[in-house]
Structure 1
Amino acid sequence: MSNDKQAVVEVLAKDLQGPGVVACPNPKMALWSAHPKVYIDVAGSGEGRCPYCGTVYRLKAGEKVHAH
């Protein structure tokens, strides 16, 4: 990204897929900025960063990830 400030997306526990991951790019991102889909672990530490675009996905404060 060209600006110094990276996007931060807060996610809810219900938004996590499979073993506590989110997919990037997410559906709200502009099509022109798309990159290969990657899955980012958010459940482990509460946040994760996309290696392509730098978007940070953070579990919203107070959200609990339930084991499947």
Structure 2
Amino acid sequence: MSSPTSAPAVVELAARDLNAHGGVICPSPKAGMQLWNGHPRVFLDVAKTGEVHCPYCGTVYRLRAGEQPGHHG
């Protein structure tokens, strides 16, 4: 019997939430993660496609509708 799986967390981002390279670091406090029980820190490039999935935890980081990377206003 398979156990039910929960959907990955989705973190909606504003352009100002991205670092100077257009990305974010996971695990992230924005995703409600605590660093003591998280996975290794990884850089995720959100600006390239507007959405990225963490390869460790599956958290989805996506730009909010209408947000443009590089416009950190």
TM-score band by shorter chain is: 0.7 to 0.9
Instruction: Output the TM-score relative to the length of structure 1.
Output: 0.84
Q: Bigger shift: 51-60 or 22-31?
A: 22-31
| 5+ long unaligned stretches in structure 1 | none
Shift >6 Å, 4+ stretches: none
Indicate the percent of aligned positions where both proteins have the same amino acid.
55
Specify the structure having the higher radius of gyration (Cα).
Answer: 2
| 5+ long unaligned stretches in structure 2 | none
Identify which of 13, 37, 41 aligns with 1:37.
41
Q: What is the CA-CA distance between 1:60 and the residue it aligns to?
A: 0.6
CA contact (8 A) 2:27 2:35 kept: no
Instruction: Identify the residue that residue 61 of structure 1 maps to in structure 2.
Output: 65
Distance (Å, rounded) in 2 between the aligned partners of 1:50 and 1:33? 16
- Count of matched residue positions in the alignment of Structure 1 and Structure 2: 66
Q: What is the CA-CA distance between 1:32 and the residue it aligns to?
A: 5.0
Instruction: Identify the residue that residue 24 of structure 2 maps to in structure 1.
Output: 22
